[in-house]
Structure 1
């Protein structure tokens, strides 16, 4: 069973692919033929399906089309191997226009014989109902419908003949593709600060945690610091206090202070304890992506000169002096990644570029075109794989040394979430699912639904292995390391910047409802609404 389940998720589940009859895209498609015709998986499929059918002891098994016919053949062979043979029948859409002009092909048993209906999937039941009615017209007696996967919580067709028993290996909820009823605990909100941001569809500045403070920028032009009790420690305007510049940039804490960029293109450094401005450096027209400390006394700044030009700047943390500037192929909306003396940046043209951080080599170390804008932050792991999530839904693992593609996998129609590396896994969210991947190969370990709108921002792992995901439907979802939904908080707006882990099992998240939430998912009552502790408003 485990082998088939893993194969369904890794080889038959295609997020962001498939077309409806009206030429509109599906959000995802499950194409079981990818495993039905695979030599390493089909024997296991036939054994499991036979065990579902055997208690009914049919004389024959009936299927239709390119999904049912391979299963019919496999079950005929499996039944012969077990010395309880069943014949196989394949049903055409309509009678063949030549030859024997038959619709039902194969050794048709005598009238009144019991038959089992087999298919890969059942959703509304319309296909199974049609097979049942057609087999009955041939004098046969359908006694069970057996499938690999049943779509639970799907509207049933009036012709499905639900009086015929159903048996299946998995439901969509079993696989994690569809939502089961979400009767889970709501994590307590230890405190909440209101009025941090105004509603905005652009990802917010993600909170950072250091030195006992939680610091984030605001699209109202403020840099705000609160302590772990939710009390405000300081607030600094980004620019003219009468008309400060909004920011969507995630700040970075360095030995020389807290540094953040803003929509006016200026990078500012403030004192971590007081918020007092230390220096400011104009870099471009806009700095909207997160900054990264290169570990050599500089931060790398992804900067945009409107309308389309981008660059990466190295800015000295001590005084704000620009050490070097490297052009990108498009505007910068993704936080770079740095390992040793190599920096990797992505841009809206879909180009990923590697630079040396010393400034001695002006030419890029390598460039790779991914073919779609990259706006999610880049992540590099301890195997020197750089993970890039793009706007066509592909997650690509590049070799840090030369930009070679180690693997690629499509996980949705558009990826805007920052991958999280934990142990041997990579966690990333797409249009409606969060995925746990084996990071060396990209193989899918598990899938879980994350609501009707795309997940965005950073995914966090808490210290007990819990995975926290912020979602476009306004929810913050906490999953076990095995992919089981443990708790869910529903905020009043989209969670576009993701989740920041704050030690233990606590987390902080900014929502488009304007609030900053401090959560403790360890505590909660099953099925309860979220309980809010201390609540305060930002001035």
Structure 2
């Protein structure tokens, strides 16, 4: 049971004095995020699938919240001194009843009504049901949501035969659609408990940032789309190109060294990792590479298969890397590699190709996934299977393990939380029509994207704690080492720095090309490559002077 349910589990809602009004609003806001935000489950009248919707009926038919919402809305409209309250069936009815009970508790004599879309074809053949508004009575129209205002306008039209005076309109959530004002007369007082911005579904303006430096072109050739997350520390950045080279920059963006991999046309599509004084990465040529962090000198290169599209994970204690390797013909295996010499320690075959980054699970497991939806826990010592579960669709993003829980994004559109020791499903949360994500975790939260939002979910049960809008799909979220800021980027060219605790935008930047990688993070900076061929570096603290150096690097 979460805090929202515990806080409102008594038979009567708390009184709404000045000291508790803000608390009550926060209880309802949290409950809306928990119960009412639905992803890829709603359709338009012409059959198009919506990215998201708000279904407040999931909350309004819970008695405690219906009563609490009624008391909050009554607090907003009581000064209008209404005689009648009502709206369009079906959505307005629980709102109406909640407000009527709140008014009755104060001894106010207020009546309610409900409006049909069309007059009933039999019985009393009414369009306005319930109490019929008296002539010149004061009416407030209510609804669960305000969008374009057409529903309110339809209710006003149905009330015209009664000569009632519509003095106000109130809803739980107002989309603040400009069309509302063109359909509903400005003399009608309009109020709501929340706007989309209050719920994190619409962004507040954020300061524009400037890069510390832009290095490029990182990729030159027919195919310039980067897939590789750079490595970053306070000394600089090591980044990879899909056109086959790896480049190291200092903290000002000046090039220090550059190397090519064997099959440079296929490039590098995995994250770059750091172990002691080495940089490790996998090429799409099927080789696993180890180079010197300071000079780029090749230490070893081991051919593991036909191609490697999944980033490796490193066990620092054992000095071993675990890599998903593809062999063609939709076959793959997981290989354990000795980091000292690049030797293969063991391999475990899989029945499908793999593009999912593995994750370590303490004390001695590694969890892997593949395109057939199979998630497996392997022994780090010999690759033997500890447990295996099959999810409904492909798993192509990064696997993340935090304590006892394994998180995997699936092409069924759900983030799946599994017991890391048994594989048992703990919960799953629908976030999109399909999901290719790199979940990140900190402080009991898991950060993952939907189609047009970044969401912070409770690791315990998958409930939403905050949402932050994005202008497109976000693949991964980078979190700074102190767990205060997270950075993400969309496939429409936007970069956002968000507050980890609230999702509020600290700054944003808009580039020319798409971003489809997880940002690299250091103590004070972040960096990521874009589809425009450039590598961008930013200060996490906010807008910065862009004159810090760096520039074009020749493809040599």
**What SS does structure 2 have at the residue aligned with 1:488?**
strand
Q: Distance in 2 between matches of 1:34 and 1:202?
A: 42
Task: Tell me which moved more, 410-419 or 399-408.
Answer: 410-419
> Measured at CA, do residues 18 and 389 of structure 1 come closer, stay the same or move farther in structure 2, by a change above 3 Å?
same
Q: Give 1:464 deviation, angstroms.
A: 6.6
Residue 40 and residue 365 in structure 1: after superposition, are their counterparts in 2 closer, same or farther (change >3 A)? farther
* 1:64 maps to 2:79: no
Alignment of 1:222-237 (within 5 A): 222-237=245-260
Question: Is the contact between residue 297 and residue 316 of structure 1 (CA under 8 Å) also seen in structure 2?
Answer: yes
The 3 A distance-change label for structure 1 pair 3 and 309 is same
CA drift at 1:255? 4.1
> CA-to-partner distance for each residue in 1:176-204, whole Å, 9 max, x for gaps?
11234x3x222232222111125858652
Q: Distance in 2 between matches of 1:515 and 1:220?
A: 13
For 1:292 and 1:5, the matched residues in 2 are separated by: 39
Aligned counterpart, 1:302: 324
SS in structure 2 of the partner of residue 467 of structure 1: strand
Q: Give the secondary structure class of the aligned counterpart of 2:59.
A: helix
Question: For 1:121, what is the secondary structure of its paired residue?
Answer: strand
Output the CA distance in 2 between the equivalents of 1:105 and 1:326: 68
Which of the residues 389, 394, 411 maps onto 1:368?
389
Equivalent residue number for residue 463 of structure 2: 443
Q: Is residue 442–residue 483 contact of structure 2 (8 Å, CA) maintained in 1?
A: no
Q: What are the superposed Cα offsets for residues 191-249 of structure 1, whole Å, 9 maximum, x if unpaired?
A: 22111125858652101125834212210100111122222221111005xx5541111
**1:154 Cα shift?**
4.8
Q: Is the 8 A contact 2:485 2:540 kept in 1?
A: no
2:479 corresponds to = 460
Distance 1:347 1:519 in 2: 34
2:33 aligned residue = 9
1:6 match: secondary structure: helix
Corresponding residue of 1:471: 490
Contact 1:328–1:353 (CA under 8 A) maintained in structure 2: no
Describe the shift of the 1:411–1:58 C-alpha distance in structure 2 as closer, same or farther (beyond 3 A): same
Tell me, in whole angstroms, the C-alpha distance in 1 between the residues paired with 2:90 and 2:165. 23
The answer on whether the counterparts of 2:366 and 2:380 sit within 8 Å (CA) in structure 1 is yes
1:531, distance to aligned residue in structure 2 (A): 3.4
Change (3 A) 1:122 1:251: same
SS of 1:189's equivalent in the other structure is coil
Corresponding residue for residue 9 of structure 2: none
Which residue matches 1:136? 160
Distance 2:177 2:487 in 1: 26
- Cα distance in 2 for partners of 1:464, 1:520 equals 15
Task: Give the match for residue 150 of structure 2.
Answer: 126
Alpha-carbon separation, structure 2, partners of 1:277 and 1:325: 24
Closer, same or farther: CA 330–348 of 1 in aligned 2, 3 Å: same
Map 1:98-497 to 2 at 5 A. 98-156=122-180, 158-180=182-204, 182=205, 184-198=206-220, 204-210=227-233, 212-239=235-262, 243-255=264-276, 257-295=278-316, 296-339=318-361, 340-359=363-382, 362=384, 364-382=385-403, 384-451=404-471, 453-461=472-480, 463=482, 465-480=484-499, 481-497=501-517
- Structure 2 contact 369–375 (Cα < 8 Å) conserved: yes
TM-score between the two structures when normalised by the length of structure 1: 0.93
Q: CA deviation at 1:414?
A: 3.0
CA 131–417 in structure 1, closer or farther in 2 if over 3 Å, else same: same
SS of aligned partner of 2:448: strand
Q: Secondary structure at the match of 1:289?
A: coil
Q: 1:202 to 1:342 in 2, by over 3 A?
A: farther
Structure 1 Cα separation of the partners of residues 355 and 308 of structure 2: 8
Matched residue count:
526
| SS of residue in 2 equivalent to 1:137 | helix
Q: Distance between the aligned counterparts of 2:289 and 2:330, measured in 1?
A: 23
Task: Tell me what 2:535 maps to.
Answer: 516
Question: For 1:248, what is the secondary structure of its paired residue?
Answer: coil
Measured after TM superposition, the shift of residue 13 of structure 1 is: 0.7
In structure 2, the gaps of 5 or more residues are: 1-24
Q: Give the whole-Å Cα distance in 2 for the aligned partners of 1:190 and 1:159.
A: 48
Cα distance between partner residues in 1 of 2:372 and 2:224: 21
Cα distance in structure 1, aligned partners of 2:211 and 2:69 = 46
* CA 21–251 in structure 1, closer or farther in 2 if over 3 Å, else same: same
Please give the alpha-carbon distance, in whole angstroms, between the structure 2 residues aligned to 1:67 and 1:521. Answer: 44
Q: Is the 8 A contact 2:148 2:177 kept in 1?
A: no
User: C-alpha separation between the residues in 1 aligned to 2:269 and 2:29?
Assistant: 41
Alignment root-mean-square deviation, CA: 2.0
String of CA shifts for 1:326-374, please: whole Å, max 9, x gaps.
Answer: 1224211111001231011111222211111100x63x21122221222
Q: C-alpha displacement at 1:283, in angstroms?
A: 1.2
CA–CA separation in structure 2 for the residues paired with 1:67 and 1:74: 12
Structure 1 gaps of 5+ residues are: none
2:28 is paired with a residue whose SS is helix
Between the aligned partners of 1:196 and 1:99, the Cα distance in structure 2 is 73
Deviation at 1:475, TM superposition (A): 1.3
* CA deviation map 1:146-183 (0-9, x unaligned): 00111124544843334422111111111111234x3x
Instruction: Give the one of 98, 105, 108 matched to 1:74.
Output: 98
Seen in structure 2, the aligned counterparts of structure 1 residues 211 and 238 have a Cα distance that, compared at 3 Å, is: farther
